[in-house]
Structure 1
Amino acid sequence: MRAYVITGPGTGSVTEVPAPQPRPDGVVVEISKVGVCGTDIELFDGSMAYLHDGNARYPLIIGHEWAGRVVDAGAEVDPSWVGRRVTGDTMLGCGQCVRCTSGRAHVCRTRYEVGVRGGWPGALAERLALPAGALYAVPDSIDDVRAAMIEPAGNAWRAFDAGGVVAGERLLILGPGTIGLLCAMFARAAGVEVHMAGREGRSLRFARTLGFDGVWTTDTLPELPWHGVVDASSAAHFPRLAVDLIEPGRRVALVGLAGLPSTIDTRDVALKDVTLAGILGGSAGLRPAIDAFANGTVDPGPLVSSIVPMEAATDILAGRPIPGVGSGPKTVIDVAPGSRR
């Protein structure tokens, strides 16, 4: 099969690799669409932390935001999965340790992360092998492009949920990228007053087109009581800003990752009685994301700037200009049969 293989920092190409076979408890999915995220870019340029701590190594096949159709199943799998449109969890725990058995498989010490950690090949390929237990059926009301955004939406839903805000309250989201925008969409759908903040530029200008209650730079941010704050940015100073801005006794959700360590004065956290919640992976948010996409309360479609063939992956990952790209933050790669061009 054809797959996009990264062989070293800044080096990757579409090449032929052996097609996967299903494990007894697994399936093989024919991939249709794959979303590109910041983690993929870090794996491509060599800056991803897992490359430096031994949890990832080249060569690797990236891709953890995807949609496809089951084409083969192992002997232990319900055969009704074959032919169904699906997406899947990225975080694959061992299933045996106390973290897995207590519902925390996404932080299993020996977990695989599809296309990211532990050498499990990702979805930027014509076919992907996956345990059947990681599958989520995709309703017909969600097209493949939107289905490929269920995984980041799961992260965004978890961040919104961790912020602890309810209808009529005010949420501030730092960082107008894909996760931040999806988080804002979930909050708006729940009746929350939604504000976003970031650096002036293309991303913030795009956020202003989506009709949120306020979109600001950090310099123009009004002095309002923020009942919840989500940091969905890659700025090392934003977690401290979030603690400074949050109302006492409320919650800050941290879903963004900076390239440098962030510094928070824990005295401020304690004296304001603030709860900090870290978010790793979308596992617990995948079902709510699917439901919101299916019933139309959240539509991720406007966030997609372009749909490109697999052969354009190097240009996308390297940040090179692509003709005809829109202003949204998400690029989707078309892997479906017949898409090669």
Structure 2
Amino acid sequence: MKAFVVHGPGEAGVAEVAEPEPGVGEVVVEVERAGVCGTDVEFFTGEMEYLAEGHARYPMRLGHEWCGTVVRAGEGVHPAWVGRRAVGDTMLGCGRCRRCRGGRQHTCADREEVGIRGGRAGALAERVAVPVTSLHELPSGLDGPLGALVEPGGNAVRAARAAAGERVLVLGPGTIGLLTALFTRAAGAEVHLVGTTPASLEFARSLGFPATAGLPEPPFDAVVDATNDPASPARALELVEPGGRLVCIGLAGTPSRLDARSLVFKDVTAVGILSASPGLADAVEAYARGDVDPRPLVAATVGLDGVAAVLAGERPPGALAGPKILVDPHRG
């Protein structure tokens, strides 16, 4: 089958690889759509910390945001799964440790991450093998783009839930920031966005959000940092109301520093969001109900042969204004 393979920093392309074989408790999924994420970009450039830490190594098959149809079932999997459309959890814990037993497999020290960590092949391919326990079945009304946006949506659900309050500020109008804003608005909050580029701010305004390069008038009961700016968490702490909530879902390439005295004196609750795992089911339900429609975020859909250019920062010809690029692995 065809898959997108990264061989080293800036070295990637479509390759013929062996068909995946489902292990015990696994299924093979025909990938319908996959998303390109900032994490994928970091592996393409070589900047991803997992490479330095030894959690990942080249060659890599990326792709952790996906949906598709189960086409094969391995030993121990009920055959009724074959033919079902599903999305899958990225985080695959060991299943034995205290964290996994407590329902926090996404924090397991020995976890694999689909398309990211531990050599687990990702979904930028025609087919992918994953544990059946990682699957969430998709309702019939959820199309490919919605399915591929469940994983980032799960992250955003958790950030929106953590950002409780009547008035919320989101720093960073990228995919995760916009999804967080959509889920937070759906929960009834007044949401403002702050960004740096005119195009991203204009797009956020097209979704009905107040969005500026400067700071809107406070107060803010919660501030969400959805940027990759190492100075942003400290700025968010400065902006949030005393007794409010600071939510960190963005990751910078270098350490972010903030003054813990401000955290204490302002009586602020700080929350970190690592993964979509605890939010996947809620994202599926919200999309199915129509509470949140993330499809306007999709700028273009490319084939596997277009992924390298996207990772290198190029916009596909004819791309719309949204920040998200999807991949159809079966597109010629």
* TM bucket, shorter chain: over 0.9
- Give, in angstroms, the shift of residue 274 of structure 1: 0.7
Q: How many residues were matched structurally? A: 332
Output one character per residue of 1:152-174: Cα deviation in whole Å (capped at 9) or x when no partner: 00001111111123xxx101111
- What's the counterpart of residue 287 of structure 1? 281
Amino acid at match of 1:192: A
Instruction: Note the aligned Cα RMSD (angstroms).
Output: 0.9
* SS of corresponding position for 2:242: strand
- What's the counterpart of residue 85 of structure 2? 85
Instruction: Indicate conservation of the 8 Å contact 2:195/2:201, yes or no.
Output: yes
CA distance in 1: counterparts of 2:216 and 2:160, whole angstroms: 21
- Give, in angstroms, the shift of residue 79 of structure 1: 1.1
- Give, in angstroms, the shift of residue 223 of structure 1: 2.9
- What's the counterpart of residue 212 of structure 2? 216
Amino acid at match of 1:232: A
Amino acid at match of 2:103: G
Runs (4+) off by over 3 Å: none
* SS of corresponding position for 1:23: coil
- Give, in angstroms, the shift of residue 259 of structure 1: 1.6
CA distance in 1: counterparts of 2:113 and 2:24, whole angstroms: 20
Query: Does residue 194 in structure 1 map to residue 191 in structure 2?
Result: yes
CA distance in 2: counterparts of 1:296 and 1:183, whole angstroms: 16
CA distance in 1: counterparts of 2:15 and 2:40, whole angstroms: 18
- Give, in angstroms, the shift of residue 322 of structure 1: 2.1
Instruction: Indicate conservation of the 8 Å contact 2:157/2:180, yes or no.
Output: yes
- Give, in angstroms, the shift of residue 188 of structure 1: 1.1
**How many percent of aligned residue pairs carry the same amino acid?**
52
Amino acid at match of 2:39: T
- Unaligned 5+ segments in structure 1 are none
- What's the counterpart of residue 332 of structure 1? 326
Output one character per residue of 1:118-154: Cα deviation in whole Å (capped at 9) or x when no partner: 1100000111110000001011111011110100000
* SS of corresponding position for 1:5: strand
CA distance in 1: counterparts of 2:273 and 2:314, whole angstroms: 30
Which deviates more, 320-329 or 249-258? Answer: 320-329
CA distance in 1: counterparts of 2:283 and 2:6, whole angstroms: 30
- What's the counterpart of residue 235 of structure 1? 229
- What's the counterpart of residue 317 of structure 2? 323
The partner residue of 1:265 within 219, 238, 259 is 259
Instruction: Indicate conservation of the 8 Å contact 2:300/2:320, yes or no.
Output: yes
- Give, in angstroms, the shift of residue 187 of structure 1: 1.0
Amino acid at match of 2:211: V
- Give, in angstroms, the shift of residue 178 of structure 1: 0.4
CA distance in 2: counterparts of 1:222 and 1:105, whole angstroms: 38
- What's the counterpart of residue 182 of structure 1? 179
CA distance in 2: counterparts of 1:76 and 1:115, whole angstroms: 24
Which deviates more, 76-85 or 314-323? Answer: 314-323
TM-score using structure 1 length: 0.96
- Give, in angstroms, the shift of residue 83 of structure 1: 0.2
Match runs of 1:298-313 below 5 Å? 298-313=292-307
